[in-house]
């Protein structure tokens, strides 16, 4: 049974979220501070029973959610632990900061508990370990990493190496938003300089080449790109 760790300093919200997750069949554990949550996440991972997901509030006393997220990512034991950020800071720059700290997704406060549960389930679904060599399918698009091939509705699509890596990144986690910086990190081949603008240009090219299926590459205004789930 998936176990979810809730790190939230507001006791009432903690209780509310836990109630809903329990109702949906999850086990939950709670922490009232970043430090406490971090200790719990690491301890459980070391004991061989890692949490399936962390619901992490951004504005925590002392250690912030961003710092907790970064620390989880730096620890080999918890680096792959999915994180869903809860934030009252709805500004785009804040969301970019959260994603770049390693959050898999974010929900802005106030939120509907039902929506939160659905988002948690979506994060859990798409963070299942994937076989790096297996072909990835999304709708009519198939990407075969081993053969370096992409088809849209059965028709072969010729992509540059950068476009291929970009599409592969989006396909691995449908629905997850990637910031431009994260996309640059994934497509950068060590030679050509990649800028925010060239990421946008690459997205335009990808859409054009995918033709009728191009709209799967979705722009999230002010944040980055994601695969339309």
Minimum distance, C-beta of residue 1 to another protein, in the bound complex (Å): 21
Minimum distance, C-beta of residue 97 to another protein, in the bound complex (Å): 11
Q: How far apart are CA 29 and CA 51, in angstroms?
A: 9
Q: CA torsion angle for 159, 164, 170, 172 (degrees, to 10)?
A: 130
Q: How far apart are CA 196 and CA 88, in angstroms?
A: 27
Among 4, 6, 7, 9, binds another protein (CB under 8 A): 9
Alpha-carbon dihedral sign for residues 83, 84, 90, 95: positive
Q: How far apart are CA 84 and CA 82, in angstroms?
A: 7
**Of 45-53, 98-106, 109-117, 183-191: span binding another protein (CB under 8 A):** 109-117
| Residue 99 CB-half CA count within 13 A | 24
- 88 contacts another protein (rule: CB under 8 A): yes
Distance of CA 214 to the CA centre of its chain: 21
**Of 8-16, 46-54, 126-134, 177-185: span binding another protein (CB under 8 A):** 8-16
Q: What is the residue whose two structure tokens read 């849209």?
A: 152
**Of 55-63, 66-74, 75-83, 180-188: span binding another protein (CB under 8 A):** 55-63
Among 21, 60, 95, 216, binds another protein (CB under 8 A): 60
- 117 contacts another protein (rule: CB under 8 A): no
Cis peptide bond prior to 110, omega within 30° of 0: yes
User: What are the strands, taking DSSP E only, across 32-152?
Assistant: 53-57, 83-87, 105-108, 136-138, 141-144, 149-152
Minimum distance, C-beta of residue 206 to another protein, in the bound complex (Å): 35
Nearer to another protein, 88 or 201 (CB): 88
Q: How far apart are CA 184 and CA 28, in angstroms?
A: 36
Nearer to another protein, 20 or 209 (CB): 20
Minimum distance, C-beta of residue 10 to another protein, in the bound complex (Å): 5
Check if the beta carbon of residue 42 is closer than 8 Å to that of residue 76.
no
Minimum distance, C-beta of residue 181 to another protein, in the bound complex (Å): 21
Minimum distance, C-beta of residue 110 to another protein, in the bound complex (Å): 4
List residues near another protein by CB under 8 A: 9-10, 12-13, 15-17, 19-20, 32-33, 59-61, 88-90, 94, 109-114
């Amino acid at each position: 049974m998936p176990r979810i760790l809730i790190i939230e300093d507001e006791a009432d919200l903690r209780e509310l979220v836990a109630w809903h997750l329990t109702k949906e069949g999850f086990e939950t554990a709670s922490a009232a501070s970043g430090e406490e949550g971090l200790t719990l996440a690491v301890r459980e991972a070391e004991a061989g029973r890692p949490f399936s997901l962390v619901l992490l509030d951004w504005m925590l006393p002392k250690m912030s959610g961003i710092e907790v997220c970064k620390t989880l990512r730096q620890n080999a034991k918890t680096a792959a632990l999915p994180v869903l950020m809860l934030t009252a800071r709805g500004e785009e720059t804040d969301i970019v900061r959260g994603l770049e700290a390693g959050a898999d997704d974010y929900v802005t406060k106030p939120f509907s508990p039902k929506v939160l549960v659905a988002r948690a389930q979506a994060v859990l679904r798409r963070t299942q370990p994937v076989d790096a060599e297996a072909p990835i399918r999304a709708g009519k698009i198939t990407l075969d990493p081993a053969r370096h091939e992409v088809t849209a509705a059965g028709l072969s699509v010729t992509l540059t190496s950068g476009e291929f890596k970009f599409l592969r990144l989006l396909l691995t986690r449908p629905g997850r938003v990637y910031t431009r910086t994260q996309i640059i990190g994934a497509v950068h081949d060590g030679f050509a300089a990649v800028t925010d603008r060239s990421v946008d240009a690459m997205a335009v090219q990808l859409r054009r080449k995918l033709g009728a299926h191009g709209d799967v590459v979705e722009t999230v205004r002010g944040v980055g790109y994601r695969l339309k789930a």
